[in-house]
Amino acid sequence: MDTGKVRFGYFNFAILGDESHWAAEAAECAGDQDAYWEFHDYLFSHQNGENQGAFSKDNLKGFAAEMGLDTKVFNECLDSGKYTQFVQDQANFAQQLGVQSTPTFIINGRGIIGAQPFDTFKQVIDSFLNQ
Amino acid sequence: MIDQPQGEKPALTVVIQSWWTPAVAVIFLVIGLLGGYFGRPLVAKGTKTSEPVAVVTTPTTDPTEAAASLKQIMDSVISQTTNFKGDPNATVTIIEFSDYQ
């Protein structure tokens, strides 16, 4: 990625309930303040069970505050449901595409299902780089 | 009239009286039987191989189509993805579908 050969995208596939949706929406809200990836990483490092309050809206707002985001803008974004439809649309799109579980990766159209070892990714990536 | 068909039957036998006619008939009969016996598996194999060929040709025609459709899929996924890291012109694009939980 650092050498400009690979780029990485994250696609919200919120399927595990309300907190999945809120977390995805919150990340998009953080993205409005150019802090998408920071928030993204923060979420993954603060996972704590499913739908047990770890990603309640209050907690998500707390994360934004800890990261020094503009909380007023962030909270309004989250509360108003600015990205609710967007996140839902993404999940629907992924489902239509046939994505059934997380994580699923698509590398230039080639699917890798599950958290596969690095070598699996390397092989696929190299196969495209060497074309 | 009734006698004539009866008379024709021996006429048939008369043809067989020539010694090479039955010989040729038997030879061809044997050739036909052997041809049928050994040829049938070949024909059967032929149909069997034609099936895999059909199956093989579908993938062989598919890769180009599949590659095109993969690219289409990838392009549509890329268009729906809002957050990327790295060079937009990179050769390889990885998109992760995931849930934060």
The chain-wide mean pLDDT, for chain A, equals: 92
Q: Return the CATH fold of A1-97.
A: Glutaredoxin (3.40.30)
**B40: confidence class by pLDDT, cuts 50, 70, 90:** confident
Average pLDDT on B42-58 reads 48
Residue B5 has pLDDT above 70, yes or no: no
Q: Which residues of A touch B83 (CB under 8 A)?
A: 9-10, 27, 31, 36-37, 40
Distance (Å, whole) CA A32 – CA A116: 31
Whether the full predicted model's pTM is greater than 0.95, yes or no, is no
In chain B, the percentage of residues whose pLDDT exceeds 90 is 20
A94 contact partners, CB below 8 Å, separation of at least 6: A11, A13, A104, B97
Distance (Å, whole) CA B37 – CA B30: 10
pLDDT (0 to 100) of residue B6: 52
pLDDT (0 to 100) of residue B3: 52
Of A14, A105, A121, the CB nearest to B99: A14
Distance (Å, whole) CA A33 – CA B85: 16
Q: Are B96 and A24 in contact (CB under 8 A)?
A: no
Residue B60 has pLDDT above 60, yes or no: no
Average pLDDT on B46-57 reads 43
Average pLDDT on A104-124 reads 91
What was the ipTM of the complex prediction? 0.91
Average pLDDT on A88-110 reads 92
Average pLDDT on A25-33 reads 97
pLDDT (0 to 100) of residue B50: 41
Most confidently modeled range among A1-10, A31-40, B42-51: A31-40
Query: Is B64 in the A-facing interface, judged by CB distances under 8 Å?
Result: no
User: Distances in Å between the alpha carbon of B36 and those of B27, B31, B33?
Assistant: 14, 8, 5
Query: Is A78 in the B-facing interface, judged by CB distances under 8 Å?
Result: no
The chain-wide mean pLDDT, for chain B, equals: 73
Cβ–Cβ contacts within 10 Å for residue B80, how many? 17
pLDDT (0 to 100) of residue B14: 55
More confident residue, B45 or A79: A79
Q: Which residues of B touch A51 (CB under 8 A)?
A: 101
pLDDT in tens, A40-81: 999 999 988 888 889 999 999 999 999 999 999 999 999 999
> What count of CB pairs under 8 Å joins A to B?
141
Average pLDDT on B76-93 reads 90
Distance (Å, whole) CA A29 – CA A64: 9
Residue B95 has pLDDT above 60, yes or no: yes
Domain boundary assignment for chain A: 1-97, 101-131
